[in-house]
Amino acid sequence: MTHLYLIGYRGSGKSSVGAIVAARLGRPFFDADTVLETDAGETIRDIFASEGEVGFRDRESATLRKLGAGQPAVIATGGGVILRAENRELLRSSGFVVWLAAPAELLWDRISIDPTTAARRPNLAGGGQDEVKALLAVREPLYAATAHATVDASRSPEQVAGDILAVWNCSPWCRTSS
């Protein structure tokens, strides 16, 4: 019951905002995708190519279990982590979950200029803004069902971090964990 998890679509700012929040809380910060790639010794794009999406999702669940069992931290998750029920249950039962929500158009603008997109985010449903819209239609109910709180991720990283700290500070989790 100790972690602060950030969930949301690629481009919502989980990694940049997570690093700010962790520094303010004096906690370690983990980007689950980075941990997964380090453990695997290859990029997410290469894992998708060699093992398919199922192989990647198995690794994603294993990474989440590992981080969930570790020291209290701020943890940025991959955009599709909420697709598996086991992940949703682990997130909700081992920490406070914040959804960084933003409109598809803004997410696509950020994704398309992000230099890490090629290695980190293989196309899952044709690519482009249409993919963002199609996947958000499926995922938004799952982000909503998993999150304890939602913040507006269309603002600057510093503003979003401030909003996350505000909801964290009035959550039961912050009073029961260091």
Question: Rounded to 5 degrees, what angle do the CA atoms 17, 128, 88 make?
Answer: 50
Strand partners, 97: 5
Stretch that binds ligand S3P, among 89-97, 102-110, 114-122, 161-169 (CB under 6 A): 114-122
Instruction: Find the helix or strand (DSSP H, E) in which 4 lies.
Output: strand 3-7
The DSSP H or E segment spanning 154 is: none
According to the binding rule CB under 6 A, does residue 124 interact with ligand S3P?
A: yes
Closest to ligand S3P by CB, 52 vs 172, is 52
Site string for ligand S3P, 74-113 (x = CB under 6 A): ----xxx---------------------------------
What is the rounded distance in angstroms from the CA atom of residue 23 to the CA atom of residue 36?
22
* Residue 29, H or E segment: strand 29-31
DSSP lists the bridge partners of residue 167 as none
Pick from 44, 100, 101, 104 the residue near ligand S3P by CB under 6 A.
44
Q: Please state the closest distance from residue 125 (CB atom) to ligand S3P, in A.
A: 10
Q: Which residues bind ligand S3P (CB under 6 A)?
A: 10, 33, 44, 78-80, 120-122, 124
